[in-house]
Amino acid sequence: MKKQSYNVNKSNVLIISVIVLIVLFVVIQFYKVTHIELKTQTATISTVYDKVSSEALFIRDESVVEKSPSGVTVACFQDGDKINVNGNVAMQFSSSKAAANYSKYAELTKQIKYYQTLEAQTVGQSADLETINEDIEQKVINYADGLAKNRIGDTAEDLDSVLVRRQLIIGEDVNLLSIIENLRDQRNNYQSYSKPDRYIKTDKSGVFSSYTDGYENLIDYSKVEETTIDGFKSALKAVDKAQNVSNNIGKLVTSYTWYVQTLVSADTVKNLENGDYVNIVLKDDTSKSFKAEIVNGAEIALGQKETLLVLKLNEMDADIAKLRKAEIEIRRNTYEGIKVPSEALHVLDGKKGVYVLIASQVKFREVNVIYSDDDYVLAEYDESNEKSIHLYDKIITQGKDLKDGKVYT
C-alpha cells in the first residue's frame, strides 16, 4: 500500500513540474512580446549613390618591352616612371654577376651623391631646431603613408636626411666626409662594372610598368568603340587564362587616355547619353573614384536588354597600368543626407517621419526622403527646419507603443 502511494506522489511531482515549466515558458514569451527593448541609432550624415556593379575590362594604348634573347636584361625605371622618346628603357648585361655588380656600383654612387648633398646642406646652416623638428614630423608622416601604400620611394631617404641634419644642429659628431670617402673606396671595387654592355631604347614616350599579362593587344585600342557584346564576353573569359610573360621586362603605356568596357542592363543607361559623365570605383578599393566619359553604349535600340558601355578616362599611374579585369561600381547620382533604417519610419498625421529619444522623451521628427533602398532611406538634412530630423538625434529603431511625447523611464 505504501509503495503504491509513493508511486502516485512521484507521478504528481512530475505532472506539477511539467505544468510549472509550461507556465514559466508562457510567462517568458509574454514578457518578450510586451517588453520590447528600446534600440536607437545616432543620426549622422551619409553619402550614397545610384550605382550598379559589373565586371569590366581595362584597355590601354600599351606596348610590351621584351628582354634580349641572351644575357641579363634589367629595367632602368620603376613602375609609374615617365620615359621620353629614345630613352634608355633597359640595360643589357652579359651575366647575372655583371648585373649584380653594376647594381652595387649604382647603389654606392647613389649613396655618395646623397651624403654629398646632405653635407652641402649643412654648411653654414642656421641652428633652427624647431624648424627641423617640424620637418621631421612631416617626413615621418610621409614615410608612414608610403609604408601603408607600399610605396616608400624616397621617403626613407628624406627622413634619414632630416634626422642627420638634426644631429648636426644639436652638436652630435657626424663625419659626413669620412662616410663619403669610405663609400668611394667601396665603389672602386666595382669600377669595371660602371656601365652595362648596352642599352635598350624606346621609340615611344610613356609610363613604364613592370607588369605584363600577355593581353596588351587583346582588344584593339584604336577600335575600342567597335567591340561587340560577343567580342567582349570572349575577351572577358580569355583573361582568366595565364600567359607566358617571362620574356617581358615590362611595358610602356603610351597614352594617358584609357578605356573601360563593361556589360550592363538597359535600365542602367536609362536617361544617360553618350558624352555624359559618371564615376567609377573598384569594388575592392572604393576609396578612389575615377571620372569617366561615356563614349559608346548609352544610346540603345528599342527592346535591347543589355549594352556594352565604353567609358573614357584620362588619368594614369602605376596602379592603373596593372588593371586588366575587375569588378567595378558605376555611380551616377550622389545623395547626401541622414541614413534611416526602413523599419524606423512611421507615419503620423499623414506625415512620414521617425521617433527620436531626447532626454528619455519620445519626439516625432518629420522626414523628407531623397533616396530609398530596400534596407534604408536617406532623409534630407535641413538644419533650419526644427521639425525635421537633426544631426545626432537618437533615432528609435525598435520600441513598443511609440508616441510623440511619451516618456521612457
End position of a domain, from candidates 179, 196, 213:
196
Cα separation, 321 vs 370, in Å, equals: 38
Asked if residue 139 is part of any domain, the answer here is: yes
Tell me the pairing of strands 376-379 and 369-372: antiparallel
Q: What ranges make up the beta strands (E) of 19-115?
A: 39-42, 45-59, 62-66, 72-75, 82-83, 88-93
Instruction: Give the domain range for residue 16.
Output: 1-33
pLDDT value at residue 33: 47
The domain that holds 378 is classified in CATH as: 2.40.420.20
Confidence of residue 120 (pLDDT cuts 50, 70, 90): confident
In this predicted structure, the answer to whether residue 375 has a pLDDT above a threshold of 70 is yes
Asked if residue 166 is part of any domain, the answer here is: yes
User: Are residues 222 and 326 both part of a single domain?
Assistant: yes
User: Are residues 322 and 346 both part of a single domain?
Assistant: no
Chain segment 136-169, per-residue pLDDT in tens:
777 777 767 776 666 666 676 677 667 766 666 6
User: Are residues 172 and 245 both part of a single domain?
Assistant: no
Contacting residues for 188 by C-beta, under 8 A, at least 6 apart: none
Chain segment 14-41, per-residue pLDDT in tens:
677 767 777 676 655 555 544 557 888 8
User: Are residues 135 and 211 both part of a single domain?
Assistant: no
Looking at 62-71, 165-174, 286-295, 390-399, which range is the least confident one?
165-174
Q: Residue 60, class by beta-carbon neighbours within 10 Å (0-12 exposed, 13-18 middle, 19+ buried)?
A: buried
Cα separation, 23 vs 31, in Å, equals: 12
CA 351-41-53 angle, 5° bins = 85
- Number of domains making up the chain: 4
Asked if residue 70 is part of any domain, the answer here is: no
- Cβ(331)–Cβ(308) below 8 Å: no
Chain segment 227-255, per-residue pLDDT in tens:
999 999 999 999 988 787 888 999 999 99
Looking at 2-6, 335-339, 377-381, 395-399, which range is the least confident one?
2-6
Chain segment 296-314, per-residue pLDDT in tens:
999 988 889 999 999 999 9
Asked if residue 3 is part of any domain, the answer here is: yes
Asked if residue 329 is part of any domain, the answer here is: yes
φ, ψ of residue 255 to 5 degrees: the values are -145, 140
User: Are residues 292 and 377 both part of a single domain?
Assistant: no
pTM: 0.68
Asked if residue 77 is part of any domain, the answer here is: no
Asked if residue 72 is part of any domain, the answer here is: no
Instruction: Tell me the residue type at 70.
Output: S
Asked if residue 406 is part of any domain, the answer here is: no
Chain segment 193-237, per-residue pLDDT in tens:
888 999 999 988 999 999 999 999 999 999 999 999 999 999 999
User: Are residues 238 and 281 both part of a single domain?
Assistant: yes
Q: Residue 246, class by beta-carbon neighbours within 10 Å (0-12 exposed, 13-18 middle, 19+ buried)?
A: exposed
Segments in 239-374 forming alpha helices (H): none
Segments in 280-339 forming alpha helices (H): none
Q: What ranges make up the beta strands (E) of 2-142?
A: 39-42, 45-59, 62-66, 72-75, 82-83, 88-93
User: Are residues 288 and 344 both part of a single domain?
Assistant: no
User: Are residues 215 and 319 both part of a single domain?
Assistant: yes
End position of a domain, from candidates 196, 223, 243:
196
φ, ψ of residue 44 to 5 degrees: the values are -135, 160
The residues facing 356 across adjacent strands are 363, 395
Mean pLDDT value of segment 121-142? 66
User: Are residues 121 and 7 both part of a single domain?
Assistant: no
User: Are residues 264 and 209 both part of a single domain?
Assistant: yes
Mean pLDDT value of segment 366-379? 90
- Cβ(311)–Cβ(295) below 8 Å: yes
Cα separation, 143 vs 207, in Å, equals: 24
